[in-house]
Chain A
Amino acid sequence: MSTQPPIGMVLNIQHFCTHDGPGIRTTVFLKFCSLRCKWCSNPESIHPKPELAYNPSKCIGVKECGLCVKECPESAIFTVDPDLKVKINWDLCTNCGKCVPVCPPQALSLFGQEMTVDQVLDEVEQDSTFYRESGGGITVSGGECLLQPDFSAAVLAGAHERGINTAIETAGNVPWEYMAKVLPHVDTMLHDHKLTDPARHKKWTGVDNARILANFKKAYETFPDKAFIARTPLIPGVNDDEEHIRAVLAFIRPHKNVVDYELLPYFRFGESKYGFLGRVYELADFQPPTPESLARLRAIIDEAFGRTSQGQSLPRP
């Protein structure tokens, strides 16, 4: 058994998050995901290893620079006359990252870096005052944080040792053993119920939901003292229907430790990242849900939880 503390592949650490669990939180986003949701606004979180990102608007052109073209060992950076800005051949790029340090305007960068548990917690601990005042803490998210179970468990355990409340965000598509390893260190588990029908779940996320639901049910039953918050990323035309909301409510209501059910309105702020990664965002025509449909569906949830108003915070940006 290794005595070395685990190293994690971290995408981003975002301070002052108010929609990732109770209070003001710092969210640690890990890389690696086992789903391929068509609406994903964090495409850079899917692949487990660091990935090259290229922002053409920052490129100063091969006449002024051209250093990356010379540096690339795979001939993956080239130009097309008369455009002076470089282009990336994504088929040839191996994400080695050699071009990143030579780019003066930082048009080239890498998504994802290795961090130790202490490095993560030292950064998270900076906002301890806010956590105390607001009932917040750390949230480990992603990607799918449970695909790095050793690292996630170590970070969350370390957070507890530092007196910081813990939460995770998960889609649940992992072996149960991973969930069982991490949950003992979690105070609140936010988890996604994306679609009800297994065939539609497979079409829109890549897999059906049998194991996901089995994991959630087992988690509710195995950890009765923890708080669970169900969520649905509400995608118009896909899952913004009463049927799905009521199906989720029927699934969670028998379990008193599922304390809330949140609807997260679809947004497209992550669309530019697809371009940076050389990918295409498929949901070009999709719009966010209307305030009316959001209110109507939230009213169904309020009624199920026996409350008059949900006291919803502002729609997630």
Chain B
Amino acid sequence: MNPATHRIGLNNGGGYAPGLNAVLTGVVLAASELGWEVVGIRDGFEGLLFPERYPPGGLLPLSPHVTEHLAIAAGPLLGTVARTDPFHVRIVNAQNQVEEVDRSDELLETLRKEQIDAVISVVGPRALSVLWKLSRKGLKTVCVPTSVENEVAATMLSFGFNSALSSAVETLERARQAAEAARKVGVVEVLGEHAGWLALQAGMAVCADAVLIPEIPYDLSKIAEKLRKKLQAGRHYGLVVAAEGAAPAAGQVAASPANPLRASLSPGATGHEGGHVVERSGHVAETVALQLQRLIDQETYPLVLGPLVKAGTPTAVDRQLGLGYGAAAVRAIKDNQTGVMVAFQPPELKFVPLAEAINKVRTVPTNSVFVQVARALGISLGD
């Protein structure tokens, strides 16, 4: 990209994280220093694909005038979508038939018409593949990784994780106190379908009795043994933190939920046609609580934090990271490096080709320092 580039687009293409406005501010300020224009696209690419849905317009001009009065802690100015996908847009066609159509060519043409030279997209792991496909079709894009579970590989820290962790720790501390007051064992479920970073780091921070993560299949008898010892020592409560993707070890049978505690987003509530991303939560909390209760002869109760951790105040780390990622994304465009993802590989911010960023999930290695510390603290990992 030559320095003549002067108009870049920005959107949130993949999920909500606290403090997305920090990335926006970083992009706007850095671009403004170069004399460039920034235009925000509402709700992923919906502002361009369905402009009629946005009476104020699907695009929002951004400038330091906007960002200096923008609270970083507020909800994202540009909105967001669970996952952007212009390759499968559900429409009702002229024959009154529902179909999924590929509108990627149309999207690229619209971007050209709007004279948007490149797009910075804040995306989670699922949307990375979509942005990669768009970049292969000619879209100049730089992606900023966001994941409250910290599961984007190639970057040590995804935007939003630190804030979610802080939020989880605060709530888990309350859960621990509540369990102590009630003399019960709380089983708290947190986000983490594929990677257990949030459960592990938050559980460690509150000195939970056990942490269950997807990477380590659990044997509940090991946790029961630990809890029994604690109860016999006169400490009549416990706290188990479980990632939603945690699963029992082979040969272990998970209990069926007595009353499924599913917080699924019913289509009756959303009314949104086409979108079929449904957050499910509660299954692990329910089944572990049920089975553990039988093993330790002490009352357990399930609790689901789920998406609640996304609604925290962005921490200082995420503010810095967001601003830094935003500014780095602008620098990448200036250096003609597109089709890349910004990555924090301490001590530097680097650019990783999207082809290398997709199909990878940053899971907890068994020799991770967090695992070692957790074990040293006597936290059971169920193995």
Q: Which residues of A contact B (CB under 8 A)?
A: 34-36, 38, 47, 75, 78, 80-82, 89, 91-92, 173-175, 202-207, 211, 237-238, 279-285
Contact = CB atoms under 8 A, between A and B. Distances in A.
Nearest to A43: B276
Contacts of B276: 279-280, 282
A34 B266 contact: no
A298 to B, nearest CB: 25
B126 A91 contact: yes
11 contacts: A35-B98, A47-B100, A92-B129, A92-B358, A174-B97, A204-B267, A211-B96, A280-B278, A283-B267, A284-B278, A285-B262
B275 to A, nearest CB: 9
B95 interface: yes
A282 B96 contact: no
Contacts of B266: 282-283, 285
Interface of B: 85, 87, 90, 92, 95-100, 126, 129-130, 133, 194, 215, 260, 262, 264, 266-268, 271, 273-274, 276-278, 280, 355, 358-361, 363, 365-366
Contacts of A285: 260, 262, 264, 266
Nearest to B358: A89
B35 to A, nearest CB: 36
B280 A75 contact: no
A81 B214 CA distance: 10
Closest 10 CB pairs of A and B: A34-B97, A206-B98, A78-B359, A91-B129, A284-B264, A80-B361, A36-B98, A280-B278, A282-B267, A38-B267
B271 A203 contact: yes
By CB atoms of chain B within 10 A, which of A34, A80, A173 has the most?
A: A80
A206 B267 contact: no
Contacts of A75: 355, 358-359
Nearest to A91: B129
A285 B269 CA distance: 13
A27 B268 CA distance: 32
Contacts of B90: 36, 206
B92 A207 contact: yes
B96 A173 contact: yes
A206 B129 contact: no
Nearest to A81: B363
B148 to A, nearest CB: 18
A206 B92 contact: yes
A206 B96 CA distance: 9
A91 B85 contact: yes
Contacts of A204: 267
Contact of A280 (B277, B358, B363): B277
By CB atoms of chain B within 10 A, which of A35, A89, A204 has the most?
A: A89
A47 B101 CA distance: 11
Nearest to A202: B273
A36 B272 CA distance: 12
Contacts of B278: 280-282, 284
A237 B268 contact: yes
Nearest to A34: B97
A206 B276 CA distance: 13
Contacts of A284: 262, 264, 278, 280
Given A36-B274, A284-B280, 7 more contacts: A34-B98, A34-B99, A82-B366, A173-B96, A206-B273, A280-B276, A281-B278
